[in-house]
Structure 1
Amino acid sequence: MEKTEVTKLNNSHRKTIILLLVVLFSILSLTLPQTPTNQQLPVILTVTSSMSQPKGNLLSKIDYRLQSMMDEEDPNQKVEMIVVFQGVSSTRGAELLKSLGDITVLETYSIISGALIEAPLGMAINIAPQNYVKSITYNYKVKIHSTLHTLQATATTYSANIEQIGATRLHQLGINGTGIKVAVLDTGINTHEALPATKIIYSKSLVPGEGIEDLNGHGTHVAGIIAGYCEGKYVGVAPGALLLNIKILNKNGEGNLSGLVDGINEAVSQGANVISISAGALINKPDDPACQAANNAMLAGVVVVAAAGNEGPDSGTVNAPGEAALAICVGAVTSSNVIPDFSSRGPTPDNRVGVTILAPGVNIVSLDYSNSSGYVRMSGTSQATPHVSGVVALLLSNMSLTPSTVKAALMATAVDLGDDPYAQGCGLVNASAAYDLLSSGKPPVAISPPRFELTSFGSELSVTVNFTIVGGLARDDYLSNVSIKVEGGISSLITLSSTGPFNLNDTHVFVAATIYVPSYYMAPFFSGSIKLVNGDGTVIASVTIQGTGPTMFLLLYLLSQETSSFYVTVAEVIFVCLVAGVALIVSLAVRYRRRHAPPKEEGFMP
């Protein structure tokens, strides 16, 4: 038989298969239960404790840790809580609290309108109804985000991680972070041959019973990545930067929420330009007091860079304060740009991507706290974070920039690694490209995630993602009239919470998009884009969206192809399995009915 006849025969068989599959799908769609329309893909599904769900208007102000403790422990037990106020100052709120009974105010904060108190556990029920109280949070533990400690290393003047993020070129241009104050909220900082005392311009310990020195090693390692320098031996990302040593973690690398909030408060009050936080806790609450403090610091003109955490590869594991909506949240990559399993992933509970950007965080060489001429390796998002803090210092030392401008520039110029946006954010930080963009004088604009891919594994699909849109500072009204335009096949499947126009000048805007692919959507694939359009009609940023429709229609498409391919073969195999499965079910059903059919009644024929 000739080849053309074989091809015709194969195509004829394929068309027969398609017809049978259409009939089969029609039957299945009528008999099988439909997937709920609010189903989300596993990649963006956040699993939280049932205790995190408010039990009512009263308890909605009390965080789930306190609720759990109230259910299981002695209500007279004294605990520390942070109370956030609304409509009153911290001082006035503290005074009102004391009038409620057995409450001791330990500290008040200016970075958030709130206070740290000690009170019987059951007192939370009396505090919550007060109209000046916004939230009550247990003073939970925070910890460092390093997974590997004290592996001895030999320092090299320009290690690969500095070149990996594009900082080497800026050093060659004479940009080294001179004069920029970076607050390191950590275990303390010890002096070193690469970190003389003159570089540490301020020190304060917020850890009870411990001084300003580093008894753990984590803080000194982080500080070295930011600003270390020893000629011919070691260079950090921003060797000209100055450091504020704000100790919030003890010798075990642990601390409390109160110390984290107090540390951010202290950094702002001491005039820090950048706050680097390589610690936190898995909270899944973007309005947590630590997140509020980070957001308010950004609004006060201080760039906050925080670690994503080391709870990966599970989704929904971004730590506070990294999950703060305005902060720069940093995940880790290896020297070969692979995201390690430990790096935390999004999304956040409010459906944002969570991770902003990536930086080197595996086997990073920096300073040994116990040996002033020694160097060690550590790994973690703790090590990735100071890389970005150093890049921010480089950029700030060369030009006057607002926090939103810096964040937008880093997002817009990051190297897309092609990985899951919930793991990589916008991609690998690129100091050189960010510098070039900012030097052009054009205000940066970025949107995250920059791309989005969906796969429908069931009969229908519904997914919500909260896009983060960041605009830099424009000297005129350039970004004062920005709107959103949806193009392509996705336009009939997407619903936006708003299309603008927005004033994107030096600010953040969050737009929720719900993508719904119904079971009757006939196309095997869908694609399109979300575009940010400026008032003059120019496109200033965009997101590409693509995905596959319901599985059955994708199989139909593959089986209809004239050419043979791996995917067509897979489709045919799936088809055979489906037919065999249905045949088996029908056969079993017939046998069951025969076995359990009632006996025929015997009687007289009329």
Structure 2
Amino acid sequence: MRYFFLLILLCFSLTMLAAFDQQEDEEEVTRIIEVDGDPHLIKREIERDLPRLEVMTVYDTVFNGIAIKGKLEHLTKLSKIEAIVNQHPVQTYRTTSNDNMNQSVPFLLQGKHEQRNIPFTGKGVKVGVIDTGIDYTHPDLSGNYKGGFDVFDFDDDPMETLEENPTIHGTHVAGVIAANGKMKGIAPDAEIYGYRALGPGGFGTSVHVIAAIEEAVKDDMDIINLSLGNDVNGPDWPTSVAVDKAAALGTIVVVAAGNTGPDDWTVGSPATAAKAITVGASTPPVKIPVLTDRFAGKAIPLIPMMGSNKWKLDKRYQLMYGGVGDKPLKNARGKIVIMKRGKIPFTEKAELAEKSGAIALIVYNNEVGEFQGTIDDGSIGIPVVAVSKEDGEWLKQKSKSGNSEWLETEYIDIVDSLAPFSSRGPVTANWTIKPDILAPGVAINSTVPGGYQELQGTSMASPHIAGVAALIKEAHPDWTPKDIKTAMLSTATPLKDKDGHLYAPTEQGMGKVNVEAAVQPALQFNPSQLNFGRFNNSFPKKKIMVKIKNNEKSSQKVHFSLPKKKQGLRWELPKAFTLAPNQSKRVEIGLHVTPAFLEKGLHQGWIRMGTPDQTFDLPYLFMMETSDYPRAMGFEIATSTFDSTTYEYQFYLPEDAEKVKVDLYNPDTLVYERKLFELTNQQKGVVEGKLARRDLGEKGRYIAVITIQNESRHYSYGVPIDINEFP
């Protein structure tokens, strides 16, 4: 389904770009371009050969490029310069929120205490928010706001979009980090800088994001927060590479994991960057509605859709089944309508239910598991919620039994559970655990232009961690990004599900951040996660060196416990040893596998390490031969920025492919139309290429089916594309 959602985003972006181009013929516009070679030399070449263009700035830190201003007719002449590498024009980056004061901040900072128990407030620490901009006039932010840059409009005013397709996201994120007024953020004395990389509606491109990272690094930000992402699950997508470069240069980079859970392999770039602190979402203390049937012993949690009114029903109501919402509803007045997900957008389903007199709408999943939905904010007056496929089918049968009047709503308190929408790892190509850590991301109230609003998503979890990083940085100004990440991960608390079992490492990383312990960690171990990569018959044994440091004033005896015995696995763990105060020691953790006794796919779990005072759970992960990871991602195609007769495409391969073929299908009938192109012996990584306009065939909207072939195995996936945009 997310590919069809992506169609909306891509088509919106293409439509907007086309509209801008029509308006820009006589106007000067700014474009950020990627170059191959020394950008300073290319700047001089442009100034010499194309004097009507103005070079605004040069990027040479995490990105190799130039920002150029001029009329569109003059910008097209840049295609004559061989060193110009076209920007990624279609790949859309979007905010990772799904759409009483903030309860998550005191929840993290107080723990068992009744008041803030941490003496640090982020004073003197510079935090850059790469997002939709910041409403720096907000009374809770104006005192801490210190500046920034807008790479979308290319000026020094990173204000939120307040008129056409307005945004609120960056202001909300900034408030979680460092609001200091009616609301208090995690680090209320930190300095906030805004870098607007996402424009109207919260959309931007890879180049906007990378350019914003570059601006933030050059401005000497201590920390940057990126509550944005895409669907490309690979460590070497350009934005992930830029994040790793920024961290290598001394900037702490915190990134939201994404909201496409609960499936594996859903963490997207730049959250896939190895050096990033990638953040998944947990729940702070919240009260959720549960639909109950006491006689059947059934309790169904209701997941509010973003943009919906809150569920406040306090009586028994009858259920009515409404199909998928494509037909009129009769006798729905005063009832709870239940519909199946699919075919009709959530907002249209809700409009139909409301117009029919329904008191509320429940949408159940059309595939296994829970999901997070969104409706147009403010357009619907009734509550709209989501439930799993299993619960929805039970409610559907209940609606037809005549006994549904016995269903009523109860409200229960939940805390420290994994948000179902939070994206899961691992990462393709290097097969590592992501996310790294969890923070509250459900029902987070924070600053927005004109006031405060509740949002949820990993976008809201990420700034909690950025704020915590500011507290640690103030406490330890000489610590590197690696030190700060290690402190957070070493002290995190693994979460358990409702049955008392630890969530998988690819769901929670090290667990929920423990702020007090992270600021003054007793023990640090790096790496904190044991990523063994891929095993096969040729490589049945691997070892990982772990550095353990004792920060306590007294000696600490460290010991390891073997995991529950599993056929096919043999562990080599260090013998118990003692660390003196401030002493470090490198130990080796080895794993032998016997492929004949292990199934192909992902294997993960926990290794327990302990001292006399506490225990630590280290997550491990390895892949046996292969798994069901996506073999291709992020396919996009659009007109070249500088040559309107050429289309450029790109996509991502986590592994080498013998053959890659892209075919076009009719989106309505799914009838095969034609082959777009075919590649052989293609190496892994970002694949880019060009097609002449004449080779594209008839204009229109299609489903592009990308087929990957290796030996006798085939893998295909489809993504909607639009090739209407051409002269």
Contact 2:527 2:547 in 1 (8 A): yes
C-alpha distance in 2 between matches for 1:141 and 1:385:
20
Q: Structure 1 residues 547 and 355, CA, compared in 2 at 3 Å: closer, same or farther? A: closer
Q: Please show how residues 374-523 of structure 1 align to structure 2 within 5 Å.
A: 374-400=451-477, 401-417=479-495, 418-437=502-521, 440=522, 443-448=524-529, 493=569, 515-519=593-597
Are 1:318 and 2:267 an aligned pair? Answer: yes
Contact 1:184 1:219 in 2 (8 A): yes
Which residue is equivalent to 1:212? 158
Contact 1:146 1:383 in 2 (8 A): yes
Secondary structure (helix, strand or coil) at the match of 1:197 reads: coil
Mark the structure with the bigger radius of gyration: 1
Residues 264-315 of structure 1, C-alpha deviations (whole Å, 9 max, x = no match): 1111111111001111212223112211211111111110001111111222
Which residue is equivalent to 2:240? 291
Q: Structure 1 residues 309 and 399, CA, compared in 2 at 3 Å: closer, same or farther? A: same
Task: Indicate the structure with greater helix content.
Answer: 1
Q: Structure 1 residues 330 and 173, CA, compared in 2 at 3 Å: closer, same or farther? A: closer
Letter in 1 for 2:446: S
Which residue is equivalent to 2:432? 352
Point out the more displaced range, 405-414 or 460-469: 460-469
Secondary structure (helix, strand or coil) at the match of 2:120 reads: coil
Q: Structure 1 residues 467 and 386, CA, compared in 2 at 3 Å: closer, same or farther? A: farther
1:267 to 216, 222, 231: 216
C-alpha distance in 2 between matches for 1:302 and 1:261:
14
**Distance apart, 1:226 and its partner CA:** 0.4
2:108 to 149, 164, 169: 164
Which residue is equivalent to 1:243? 192
Letter in 2 for 1:147: N
C-alpha distance in 2 between matches for 1:391 and 1:358:
12
Structure 1: any 5+ residue segments left out of the alignment? Answer: 1-46, 49-64, 70-79, 149-153, 455-459, 476-483, 497-504, 534-538, 549-606
C-alpha distance in 2 between matches for 1:84 and 1:509:
44
Are 1:308 and 2:254 an aligned pair? Answer: no
C-alpha distance in 2 between matches for 1:362 and 1:289:
30
Identity among equivalent pairs (%): 28
Contact 1:162 1:168 in 2 (8 A): no
Contact 1:412 1:446 in 2 (8 A): no
**Distance apart, 1:510 and its partner CA:** 13
**Distance apart, 1:411 and its partner CA:** 0.8
**Distance apart, 1:469 and its partner CA:** 7.8
Which residue is equivalent to 1:188? 133
RMSD between superposed Cα atoms in Å: 5.3
Secondary structure (helix, strand or coil) at the match of 1:111 reads: coil
C-alpha distance in 2 between matches for 1:312 and 1:251:
26
2:146 to 201, 204, 220: 201
Letter in 2 for 1:518: A
Letter in 2 for 1:420: A
Q: Structure 1 residues 398 and 468, CA, compared in 2 at 3 Å: closer, same or farther? A: farther
Letter in 2 for 1:187: T
Taking structure 1 as the reference length, the TM-score comes to 0.57
Which residue is equivalent to 2:645? none
Residues 363-402 of structure 1, C-alpha deviations (whole Å, 9 max, x = no match): 10111312xxx32100111100000000000111112211
Q: Please show how residues 29-68 of structure 1 align to structure 2 within 5 Å.
A: none
**Distance apart, 1:321 and its partner CA:** 1.1
C-alpha distance in 2 between matches for 1:359 and 1:353:
17
Residues 87-106 of structure 1, C-alpha deviations (whole Å, 9 max, x = no match): x54435778999999xx999
Q: Please show how residues 569-588 of structure 1 align to structure 2 within 5 Å.
A: none
Which residue is equivalent to 1:597? none
Secondary structure (helix, strand or coil) at the match of 1:290 reads: helix
Taking structure 2 as the reference length, the TM-score comes to 0.48
Residues 87-128 of structure 1, C-alpha deviations (whole Å, 9 max, x = no match): x54435778999999xx99964222352269999xx89x879
Letter in 2 for 1:355: P
Letter in 2 for 1:142: Y
2:61 to 79, 89, 111: 111
Contact 2:529 2:618 in 1 (8 A): no
Which residue is equivalent to 2:92? 141
**Distance apart, 1:141 and its partner CA:** 1.9
Q: Structure 1 residues 529 and 362, CA, compared in 2 at 3 Å: closer, same or farther? A: closer
2:416 to 310, 334, 337: 337
Q: Structure 1 residues 252 and 488, CA, compared in 2 at 3 Å: closer, same or farther? A: closer
Q: Structure 1 residues 415 and 530, CA, compared in 2 at 3 Å: closer, same or farther? A: closer
C-alpha distance in 2 between matches for 1:264 and 1:520:
43
Residues 171-195 of structure 1, C-alpha deviations (whole Å, 9 max, x = no match): 4342111111100111111135652
Q: Please show how residues 484-563 of structure 1 align to structure 2 within 5 Å.
A: 493=569, 515-519=593-597
Q: Structure 1 residues 450 and 435, CA, compared in 2 at 3 Å: closer, same or farther? A: farther
Q: Structure 1 residues 117 and 344, CA, compared in 2 at 3 Å: closer, same or farther? A: same
**Distance apart, 1:488 and its partner CA:** 9.0
Structure 2: any 5+ residue segments left out of the alignment? Answer: 4-9, 15-30, 69-74, 285-414, 496-501, 552-559, 573-582, 625-727
Which residue is equivalent to 1:175? 120
Number of aligned residue pairs: give it.
419
Which residue is equivalent to 1:224? 175
C-alpha distance in 1 between matches for 2:542 and 2:106:
32
C-alpha distance in 1 between matches for 2:263 and 2:95:
19
Contact 2:129 2:192 in 1 (8 A): yes
Are 1:363 and 2:443 an aligned pair? Answer: yes
C-alpha distance in 2 between matches for 1:108 and 1:399:
33
Point out the more displaced range, 333-342 or 406-415: 333-342
Letter in 1 for 2:474: S
C-alpha distance in 1 between matches for 2:183 and 2:87:
46
Contact 2:530 2:618 in 1 (8 A): no
Letter in 2 for 1:112: V
**Distance apart, 1:517 and its partner CA:** 3.6
Which residue is equivalent to 1:587? none
